[in-house]
Structure formats: C-alpha cells, structure tokens
Amino acid sequence: MAEFTLDLNDDQKQVRDWIHGFAADVIRPAAAEWDEREETPWPVIQEAAKVGIYSLDFYAQQYFDPTGLGIPMAMEELFWGDAGIALSIVGTGLAAVGVLANGTEEQIGTWIPQMYGDANDVKVAAFCSSEPDAGSDVASMRTRAVYDEAKDEWVLNGTKTWATNGGIANVHVVVACVDPALGSKGHASFIVPPATPGLSQGQKFKKHGIRASHTAEVVLEDVRIPGSCLLGGKEKLDERLARARERAAKGGGERVKNAAMATFEASRPAVGAMAVGTARAAYEVALDYAKTREQFGRPIIDNQGIAFQLADMRTQIDAARLLVWRASWMAVSGKPFTAAEGSMSKLYASEVSKKVTAQAVQILGGNGFTREYPVERMHRDAAIYTIFEGTSEIQRLVIARTLSGMPIR
C-alpha cells in the first residue's frame, strides 16, 4: 500500500507539467472556437493522440499509479484547459471504465483498444446508461436485453439519452435490463461493436455548456450482438441474478452493485477533479484581472470585497482537491468508502466549481458576462458537474444513506 503524501513525486510532476503544457498550448487556444461550433474537436483529439495523451497506454499508466493521484491530476490539468474539449478527450474513458469494472480480461483486451483507435485514425467510445425516464432512478430503466439461446445472441431494444459520444462512437457500452422484476439488480452491461445494425443516433443536444462535447440519444432497435459481448459473461450474470432472486424471495435486500453504479463509483473522484480544474482556471483569470483592473485609482484587489472573495475561492478549491485526492488514494489502497468519500469529493468539488466560476464572472463585472473573457464559458461549463454522473442531490442521498444505514428517500 502506498503511504499517503501530499507531495507529488518527480514522475508525477513531469506528467502534470506535460499535460498542463498541452492544455495551455493546444486546448485553450481552440476552446472558444469549438464552443461556438458545438462540434466534436477531432483535430484536437488527434493532436492529443499524437502526443500520447489520448491513448489506452496513457490512461492505464495513470489508472495504475500506486498513489491513486494519476487520474485526478490528469483530469484537473485537462479541464483547466477547457471543459468541453477535455470531455471530448476523456469521454471515452467512462466507457473504458465500464469495461474494466465489469468485463473479463479477454473483453478488456479486445474492446478497449478499439475505443481509442490510433493517432492516424482516432476513435471514441460511449457509455450509455441514462434514459428519458430513468436518469438518477436507474431502477426505472426500460432498455431490455433478451437472450436468444438458439443463436447465442443478445437482442437490445430501447433508447438511451445524455450519452457522451453517443451515435458517433466506434464502440458503445450499453446498460440494459435483463430481469425487470429485480429492478436495478437485474441490469447488465453490453458491448455493441462498431457498425452493428439497429443502433442509431437520435437527437443531438444543444447544451448550455461543455458544447464541444458531443451529447446525444442512442436508439437501439432489435440490436443483435454476440453472446460474448455481455460484460463479465453469462455464467457470472446467471449466478448474480440467482443470488438476487433468492434474497428477494426471502424478503431480504442484497447490496449488489449494478452495472451502471459500478462505473459511476469508479469515476466520481475523477469528475470531482474535472470540477477542480474548471474552478482553478476561473479563479486564476479572476485573480489576474483583479490585480490589473483599476477603479478609483487602484487595483480592485485592494478592496476587501474582492480580495476576500478570492481568498475564499482559493481555499474552497484547495479543499475540494484534497477531498478528491483522499477518495482517489482510498480507492487505490483498497480502503472502503465507509462515509461515501467518493460521493463527498464529487459533491463538494462540483458545488465549488459552480460557486467559484460565478464569483469569477462577478469579479470581472460586465467583462465577465461577455464571451471576450473565458470565465463566461467556464461558468456555463461548471453547471454540468452538479448534474452528470449523479446530481448533487443524489450524492447527498448516497452520503446520508451510507452514514445512517437507513433507506432515506
């Protein structure tokens, strides 16, 4: 087990500086353009692939950092550059985590490389869980997966929504219900291979923020996939369903992680790190502006009303980062989240990001309300952190249930 420390080692500092340089030199100069275009920034993704940031090897190295800080450090720097473009670069990672959390070694080796492609032909992947009537309420999921034993195929039908890279992905990871009577315990994850008939893109959403990231519906109409595309395999699924049915028959509840929740639990501290990156970026713009903007013959930072805001902003950002790092270290060290520390990190960091970016707009005044300054975009981008991968309300519910042991509703 790695000893906890707040000091990054030399290798981590080198990686951090490398990613920061890419964010400053490549992502930031392109941010405003792709936000306006509301399109996937393929040229930037390709540049990330060429230098090795958009690759399976890079994320594997950060994922297996023994301190647990590799992923949050990378996320913070990329999202410091721009949230929309960064999400286009890292969005594939959510699907990859879905495979890592639920798949066999063979499935991991087969499908994750196809999610990224290579520097000359970049690909993206999509994780499809939410539905029009089932966002936080995953037990209401309607997408069905039915096993055709004669052909050893699964048949998927339903509509997914809010899917990052949905419809344009090379590989889709789809969470579907295989036994509706078991609610969320009757879910499983499936790989939909490239060019599978029956999968199509539905509505592409025009969003308030993170507009460089493609978000759309995914429609599944009699999508047939090989039996081997069930993540984890059918034997493992059958055993899990049998246990859940037995417990249900006895009137007992079994704390079984469903396919979607396993993915979200693994990614929540990373989302917190994204929020920290956006907050830090807005804070830095506001700090520089306050030191150079003069009113009444002096820089506005000389006024306590501004200076104290900046002091609070920096304090909250650092506190959020510490919660993210703690959760990441606990996860890699095998320490259980007895107080829902992963949800704590995501909740606090996302709320801080919304607050700090709003304060940055206020400090810049009228300039902050225009697109001539990046804090306007950062403020719009920050709104997503309290919504996706579990709203702030859901995070509070998870924390409260964990602390109390009670089924709070």
Residue type at 305 in one-letter notation: G
251 pLDDT exceeds 90? no
The verdict on domain 10-122 having CATH code 3.40.190.10 is no
Query: Is the model's pLDDT at 248 over the cut of 90?
Result: no
Q: Is 389 a catalytic residue?
A: yes
Burial class (CB in 10 A: 0-12, 13-18, 19+), 165: buried
Of 370, 366, 327, give the one whose Cα is nearest residue 347: 327
Range in 174-188, 208-222, 239-253, 273-287 with the lowest mean pLDDT: 239-253
From the CB of residue 150, how many other CB atoms can be counted at a distance below 10 Å?
6
Q: Give residue 247's pLDDT.
A: 84
- With 60 as the cut, is the pLDDT of residue 312 above it? yes
Digit-coded pLDDT (tens) for 367-394? 999 999 999 999 999 999 999 888 999 9
Predicted confidence band of residue 254 (pLDDT cuts 50, 70, 90): very low
Mind giving me the DSSP string for 346-378?
HHHHHHHHHHHHHHHHHHHTTGGGSTTSTHHHH
The span from the CA of 361 to the CA of 364, in Å, is 5
Task: Spell out the domain ranges in the chain.
Answer: 10-122, 125-249, 259-404
Closest CA relative to residue 234, chosen from 43, 102, 398? 102
In this prediction, residue 277 has a pLDDT band, given cuts at 50, 70 and 90, of very high
Res. 256: pLDDT tops 80:
no
Percentages (nearest 5) of helix, strand, coil residues in the chain: 60, 15, 25
The mean pLDDT value for 276-302 works out to 96
Question: How far is residue 64's CA from residue 91's CA, in Å, rounded to a whole number?
Answer: 19
Report the relative pairing of strands 153-164 and 215-226 from DSSP bridges.
antiparallel
Which one of the listed residues 36, 39, 389, 393 is annotated catalytic? 389
DSSP per-residue codes, 84-146 = HHHHHHHTHHHHHHHHHHH--HHHHHHHHHHHHEETTEE--EEEE--BTTBSS-GGG---EEE
Q: Specify the CATH superfamily of domain 125-249.
A: Butyryl-CoA Dehydrogenase, subunit A, domain 2 (2.40.110.10)
Q: What is the mean pLDDT of the chain?
A: 93
pLDDT (0 to 100) of residue 1: 54
Q: Are 123 and 251 in contact (CB under 8 A)?
A: no
Burial class (CB in 10 A: 0-12, 13-18, 19+), 170: buried
pTM, 2 dp: 0.91
Would you say residue 136 has pLDDT above 70? no
259-404: CATH number:
1.20.140.10
What SS3 string covers 295-314?
A: ECCEEHHHCHHHHHHHHHHH
- Over residues 15-53, the pLDDT tens digits come to 999 999 999 999 999 999 999 999 999 999 999 999 999
Bridge partners (DSSP) of residue 144 are: 157, 177
- Residue 128 scores a pLDDT above 70: yes
